[in-house]
A = this chain, B = another copy of it.
Amino acid sequence: MIAGMSHEPARASAIADLMRAGREMSRLSMVFRYAIAEQLGLTVSDLECLDYLADVESATAGQIAERTNLTTGAVTSMLRRLQQAGYVRAERDPADRRRVIVTLRPERAAELERPYEGFAKRAKQLIEGYNVDEVMLLARHYDRMQAMYLAELDRLRNGLPEAGVA
């Protein structure tokens, strides 16, 4: 149909490779995250929470519950854990005293990054072997994958209006 008809088999097999590699990478990224959490003596939820706090600097318990897909009750005990371990400071919002404002203790932030350092270094080396176009292709691809995940999550949670193509 398009150019390169004679390469269709190669293309089909490349696509199959890509799909398989994508699934396997997704699985490994999850195993990796579990391993990091275990190494830090945390649960994956704890790690998720701390990563979130590193991003946003401070959040309320309710925001954390939403982000981590936990109930507020679970967040309460998670925050107790994380406070006890000294990762986090929690205090009531003076402006709205129902709210609990949680912040990551900055002196502990580096400690959370440490297990990722080896990975980050390797990733950087890998990416430095790419030219700008390749980097942009990858980033654009990741962004599109993100959009897909979000759309599918929406579909899974609210009804499932079947990804309409037409």
Contact = CB atoms under 8 A, between A and B. Distances in A.
Interface of A: 4, 7, 10-11, 14-15, 17-19, 21-22, 24-36, 39, 44, 48, 51, 69, 115, 118-128, 131-132, 134-139, 141-146, 148-153, 155-157, 160, 162-163, 165
Contacts of A151: 122
A80 to B, nearest CB: 23
A140 to B, nearest CB: 9
Contacts of A32: 149, 152-153
A119 to B, nearest CB: 5
So how many copies of this chain end up in the complex? 2
Most buried by B among A14, A122, A137, A153: A14
